[in-house]
Structure 1
Amino acid sequence: MLVAAAMAASCTGKKQAESTASDEKVLTKTVPAALRVIEQNEVYTSEIEPYKENDITPAVSGVHIDRILVDVGSRVKAGQLLVTLDPTQYNQQRLQYQTALDDYNRLVPVYEAGGISAQQLEQTKAALDVQKEVLDNLKKNIEMRSPIAGVVTARNYEAGNLFTGTPVLHVMQINPLKIIANIQEQYYPAVKLGMPVEIRTDIFPGEVFAGKVSLIYPALDASTRTFTVEVTVPNGNEKLRPGMFARSTFNMGDKEGIMVPDVAVLKQVGSSERYLYVVEDGKAERRSVKVGRQIGSDVDILSGVADGEQIAVTALSRLADGVEVEVKE
């Protein structure tokens, strides 16, 4: 009898403990989701590029380089002579042209004296013009000039080398510079020509460089749903250099958004789903949400939560859909 009574008492105690445990509510703290005006500053990381760049290359291969008049780091002007090629063929043609010119000049007074016909003089002049055109073309081919103002960034030959296909020089225009950004399609209406853009780099922390949108590509990339924008960056002091990484900040205007603390948003293991818990009538409700930009310690909720709803921010690991909660003041 004593054993039976003890067993009964033990069972009763366990049931009471289990009942107490099941009735226990999760203690959590909540904050209201808040509708706020958000400044849409979008940041894109990309590489700084020269505004223009050109390879300095002969029109024909298999020619010897006569002189290279600049070196890496040299400043050049548009139209400046940079390289001359072997002038042997040009010199031969120049002698032929000079001979033809002398012959023509001798025939002019003969024609004026009636010694030859006008047709003969015209034929001689036509042949001279052909010789001059050939000479001019040869001169263009042996003289390599820079099409842009800039700085020489590569030199691949020395005087006397045979040109084998690699550009002799490479010239970059580094004032201004440009940055290419690929922007989400939702911002296409917000981006305008002349729109100011702030440029920041890790190498110059705390310093902001001013740029402007100079080109907007008219078509979107169907695979990424982005469009390309070119930003021109003045570089008068030449602090910035091609190849540096930069962060470009575009102000896309203001919008209203539902903000909640970032600690309230959880990620479902094994998927990209984001969710949080809304507390209503003493119970937690699990809500899937679409998340936008983070601003400070808050995050913009694009869908799934309404203004003023109470969002759980503590004891999240103990919450589940439908669990009873007690809100800590």
Structure 2
Amino acid sequence: MAVAGTVGGRWWEARQHPAGASTAAAPGASGPATPASGERRILYYRNPMGLPDTSATPKKDPMGMDYLPVYEGEEADRGSAGQVRISADKVQKLGVRVEAVALRPLARTVRASGRVEPDERRVYTVTAKFEGYVERLHVNATGQPVGRGQPLFEVYSPELVSAQREYAIAVQGMRSLATAGSDAAAGMKQLAESSLARLRNWDLPPDQVEALARTGEVRRTVTFRSPVGGIVTEKKAVQGMRFSAGEMLYQVTDLGAVWVIADVFEQDIAAMRPGARAAVRINAYPERTFPGTVTYVYPTLKAETRTVPVRIELANPGQLLKPAMFAQVELPAGDPRPVLTVPDSAVIDSGTRTVVLVQLGEGRFEPREVKLGARSAAYVQVLEGLREGEQAVVAANFLIDAESNLKAAVHSLGGHAGHGVPALGAASASAPAAGHKGQGSVDGIDAKAGTVSLKHGPIASLKWPAMTMEFRVANESLLRGLRPGIQVDFEFVERQQGEWVITSITHR
């Protein structure tokens, strides 16, 4: 039975594999090798420098570097152009986090500095419309509070005295000619009315005019009273001085309500709306907030500070707010109506295109070019490119180059997205992070181009052999202190396809 089993097995094997055939692929056959049981299948080999070049069989690039294998499960999803597929364990390692594209109001707060100023409509100037002399001061100090109708000062004017006498004589003559002919009485009446009009035009108090008409007694001085209750903010009158017609003698300001003139930066001025509520804080009263209302946006811009004045009116109970005080103002800005938004951290701005990475399913991502609108502190409006409910990638919790920021983070998510979108592919399918480390010596520096040539040893994370190549630096400060021949340790990332950027370099 044993012999019969052996013979039968050989006969069956001959049936399955005729003479001349081999179970192994012939040497030089094209296509990836068939893996043994339990091994991952190699799909193709990719260029080790990140260039868009693949091969079905192992080979070397012009510098002698081996092409890197891409295994099943690590390839980009070819079912849809531009999509990226990565494994679930890599998503977990990278700390990828998504947030839904949703309708949100983009209300925000604009903060500006300002100063307290008097309400210009509540500032009154006290002056005389005739020449004269200051006979007596009733209020003799700047800053003194006064009430409405309170006497301020008394003046003597020869012209005013003459005008009073003329009116008194006209009134007396009009009474005497009351029984005379109509022409004489009418003429005297016209003279009296003319004299009375002159006194009224000179702002002689009505009670003094009435007393003059009743008694005929001419007063030597005239008393000027405050037109409003407030504070004497300016006093030029001095007892005994001579003044001219129209010269300002007192200025009285009502501080029951004041203005705050806030300097709003140019980029925020479009969000300012008259009628909006504002919150004002004063350093002198840190525990209090004074509510106000935006009443006017000035039409001029200050070229020195690139700011536009915005006027805020607010009540001043107890006159706590003093003119010239500094103020901190919070102004509401933005449209309270909900609009389609994504978190600000989801946006990748290359300078020429703006992209958001969208999660299509478990481990599948797609870059979307978007058009953005208004911004708030944490969110940005999306005008085109996304739909409500889609999941946008907003965070990946690992260290990335400060210059590449989110672009370098998206680098580690797998294959290149294509279509000219920079930094959407990983530098290496087998690298768990975007950064790589190396050691070597400086071969040359081009400060104008922002590059350094390094003669470095093997890079294990990329399977590079030792060679001399040129790197770009993330910022010019990294070139300081470098000179040819010194030994350095450096870290670098692939910012764009085939562009290697040094993010840190130190002397050894």
Counterpart AA for 2:257: P
Q: Does 1:173 align with 2:254?
A: yes
Instruction: Please report the TM-score for the alignment, with normalisation by the length of structure 2.
Output: 0.45
Residues 323/250 of structure 1: CA separation in 2 closer, same or farther (3 Å cut): closer
CA shift at 1:292, angstroms?
0.8
Name the SS for the 1:31 alignment partner.
strand
Name the SS for the 2:319 alignment partner.
coil
Matched residues, percent identical?
A: 15
Structure 2 CA distance for aligned equivalents of residues 158 and 317 of structure 1:
74
Name the SS for the 1:126 alignment partner.
helix
Q: Pick the structure with more helix per residue.
A: 1
Structure 2 CA distance for aligned equivalents of residues 135 and 222 of structure 1:
44
* Deviation sequence 1:93-114 (CA, Å, 0-9, x none): 2234334444555x25xx65xx
Instruction: Report the equivalent of 1:293.
Output: 376
Name the SS for the 1:311 alignment partner.
strand
Is contact 1:198–1:211 with CA below 8 Å preserved after alignment? yes
Structure 2 CA distance for aligned equivalents of residues 267 and 36 of structure 1:
22
Instruction: Report the equivalent of 1:311.
Output: 393
Q: In the alignment, which of 65, 76, 79 is matched to residue 15 of structure 1?
A: 65
Residues 288/216 of structure 1: CA separation in 2 closer, same or farther (3 Å cut): closer
Counterpart AA for 2:251: H
Structure 2 CA distance for aligned equivalents of residues 274 and 177 of structure 1:
48
Is contact 2:118–2:255 with CA below 8 Å preserved after alignment? yes
Counterpart AA for 1:278: L
From the CA coordinates, give the structure whose radius of gyration is larger.
Answer: 2
Note the 1:51-66 alignment, pairs <5 A. 51=119, 52-58=121-127, 60=129, 64-66=133-135
CA shift at 1:279, angstroms?
5.2
Note the 1:1-329 alignment, pairs <5 A. 14-16=64-66, 19=68, 29-38=96-105, 40-43=107-110, 45=112, 46-51=114-119, 52-58=121-127, 60=129, 64-70=133-139, 71-105=141-175, 107=176, 116-140=180-204, 144-159=224-239, 160-163=241-244, 167-179=248-260, 197-203=277-283, 204-212=285-293, 232-244=313-325, 245-250=327-332, 253-260=336-343, 262-265=344-347, 275=354, 277-278=356-357, 281-282=364-365, 289-294=372-377, 298-303=378-383, 306=386, 307=388, 308-314=390-396, 315=400, 316-318=406-408, 319=411, 321=422, 323-325=424-426
Structure 2 CA distance for aligned equivalents of residues 58 and 128 of structure 1:
26
With CA pairs under 8 Å and 6+ residues apart, which has the higher RCO, 1 or 2?
A: 1
Residues 12/85 of structure 1: CA separation in 2 closer, same or farther (3 Å cut): same
Instruction: Report the equivalent of 1:5.
Output: none
CA shift at 1:236, angstroms?
1.6
Question: Gaps spanning 5+ residues in structure 2: where?
Answer: 1-59, 76-85, 206-221, 302-308, 401-405, 412-420, 434-508
Instruction: Report the equivalent of 2:47.
Output: none
Residues 171/274 of structure 1: CA separation in 2 closer, same or farther (3 Å cut): farther
Structure 2 CA distance for aligned equivalents of residues 207 and 139 of structure 1:
44
Structure 2 CA distance for aligned equivalents of residues 34 and 286 of structure 1:
14
Instruction: Report the equivalent of 1:4.
Output: none
Counterpart AA for 1:125: K
Is contact 1:154–1:169 with CA below 8 Å preserved after alignment? yes
Is contact 1:35–1:257 with CA below 8 Å preserved after alignment? yes
Name the SS for the 1:134 alignment partner.
helix
Counterpart AA for 2:183: Q
Structure 2 CA distance for aligned equivalents of residues 243 and 133 of structure 1:
42
RMSD of equivalent CA atoms: 4.8
Name the SS for the 2:142 alignment partner.
coil
Residues 257/180 of structure 1: CA separation in 2 closer, same or farther (3 Å cut): farther
Is contact 1:90–1:139 with CA below 8 Å preserved after alignment? no
Counterpart AA for 2:314: V
* Deviation sequence 1:173-207 (CA, Å, 0-9, x none): 2212345789966786xx76xx7x24221413352
Is contact 1:55–1:168 with CA below 8 Å preserved after alignment? no
Instruction: Please report the TM-score for the alignment, with normalisation by the length of structure 1.
Output: 0.64
Structure 2 CA distance for aligned equivalents of residues 303 and 205 of structure 1:
41
How many residue pairs end up in the alignment? Answer: 293
Residues 42/302 of structure 1: CA separation in 2 closer, same or farther (3 Å cut): farther
* Deviation sequence 1:20-62 (CA, Å, 0-9, x none): 79x9999673432442533725446454443433341536586
